[in-house]
Amino acid sequence: MTFVYVAAVEYMEQQARETIDAEAQGLLEAHALGGVSSLIELVELRSAHDPDRASFYLVVDSTGRYLAGNIASWPAEPPQAGDLYRLRLIDRRRGDRATQQVLARAVDLESGLKLLVGRDIRDKLQTQQLLRSAIAGGTGLMLLLGLLGGFALSRWTIGRLEQVNRTTAAIMAGQLGRRIELLGGGDEFDELAQNLNAMLERIEQLVASMREVTDNVAHDLRTPLNRIRSRIEVALLRDIDRAEARELLEATMRDADALISTFNALLSIARAEAGAERREHVPVDLAELARDVVELYEPLAEEKAIALALEAPMPVTVEGDQQLLAQALANLVDNAIKYTPEGGAVTVRVRAAPEPVLSVADNGPGIPPHLREKALERFVRLDPDRSAPGNGLGLSLVAAVAKLHGARLELSDNRPGLVVTLRFAPAQARPRPAALQPVPVSG
């Protein structure tokens, strides 16, 4: 707004200067052509034909005596020749009542004559005053509107923050199901509320999962711990012979091994889910890994008369944690042998194209489609009485390892039985040209 005011003032003053210069030039030309008489005649003519009295003229001799014009006398502080000054002049026809502010230029003529040409600038000064008033009023209005808008915006912002604070306070008080309300405006606060709600949803799921895990751990560990305590009490209450003591110690060791196995599985899942071991990833040949696991479980499969086979036509290399991948595959093969009836078959397959695939198929009872996602949770055992051996962590570990390696875990129907498949990203594949024939491992 200041720029507009300055530009307007300069424009008006420039107009006044140009008008004064034009009139002064016309009078000088008349003086040059017709002499002093022509100049006086033209000054009187212009003075008489200026009803608005916007222009001022004065011609004086060398002594300062009035010769022509509509100004009573030469200014007390006259401008220098050629310069523009703001002066207060007295209209000759109105007397002292008509003192006016003008912008004037003085010109020295021959024979000591002086010419003063001026232009009334009262209208321009009034216009400038109006501009100043308008700018001041507009600035004040903008400041007022800015203060009101800032106050309204701050109250709205504080209101949204108070809503978030109330919700977080309720959540900290134990109401984990509370969520931050969305206003539907799609602004930054709604976006923040959506992200916070998603985070709260995830936290609620983790808390619920932790509670479930805690309950399941307590349930699964209570029985072996009670058995261990009971055996110790029996050994302390009565004398036992060497054979009976050995039997008690062996049973206690089996229960301790089961406890250690449970905790090791939990640690492996935590390690895989944390993803901190990605820096330890090395090239792993899935075919060689599968061959080692199959050889490890061949005796167990023979005990149940189960045909354990490996189909790995060529080496397939992925970047990963060899120990976790081996443990995941071992869990899959162990589960497949455990739930496959005698005389059944378990097949481990490794394929390179179109993506690295590692799968384990059996012809056991399988898992119903509506329970497959739940079967991947920790300590979930589909037998309601939880009488089957195991701790319910096998598929949970496989899911965690798959997530760590960016692989998709799929559970599908083998008709009959179950097929568990790990599909790795194609970019991870590093196939080698050598080829191997399928390696059957009979049970």
Pairwise CA distance, residues 306 & 360, whole Å = 14
Residue 443 has pLDDT above 70, yes or no: no
Q: Could you report the per-residue pLDDT of 304-314, keeping only the tens digit for each?
A: 888 989 988 88
Residue 12 has pLDDT above 80, yes or no: no
Structural Rg of the chain based on CA atoms: 51
Fold designation for 2-120: Beta-Lactamase (3.30.450)
Domain-by-domain residue ranges, the chain?
A: 2-120, 205-274, 277-441
Q: Which of 41-55, 209-223, 346-360, 392-406 has the lowest mean pLDDT?
A: 209-223
Pairwise CA distance, residues 411 & 419, whole Å = 6
- Contacts of residue 17, defined as CB under 8 A and 6 or more positions apart, other chains included, come to 84, 103
Pairwise CA distance, residues 443 & 37, whole Å = 139
Higher per-residue pLDDT: 443 or 147? 147
**Cα–Cα–Cα angle for 257, 258, 260, rounded to 5 degrees:** 60
The CATH class that applies to domain 205-274 reads mainly alpha
Give the CATH superfamily of 277-441: Histidine kinase-like ATPase, C-terminal domain (3.30.565.10)
Residue-level pLDDT at 346: 92
Yes or no: say if 423 and 408 are a contact pair by the CB < 8 Å rule.
yes
The amino acid occupying position 441 is V
Determine how many CB atoms are found less than 10 A away from the CB of residue 327: 20
Instruction: Order the strands of the 84-90 sheet from edge to edge.
Output: 66-69, 55-60, 114-120, 99-108, 84-90
Pairwise CA distance, residues 260 & 50, whole Å = 115
Pairwise CA distance, residues 233 & 227, whole Å = 10
Yes or no: say if 290 and 346 are a contact pair by the CB < 8 Å rule.
no
Q: Could you report the per-residue pLDDT of 350-396, keeping only the tens digit for each?
A: 988 788 999 999 988 888 888 877 777 765 655 554 445 555 666 87
Q: Note if the pTM is more than 0.85.
A: no
Pairwise CA distance, residues 299 & 305, whole Å = 10
Yes or no: say if 313 and 436 are a contact pair by the CB < 8 Å rule.
yes
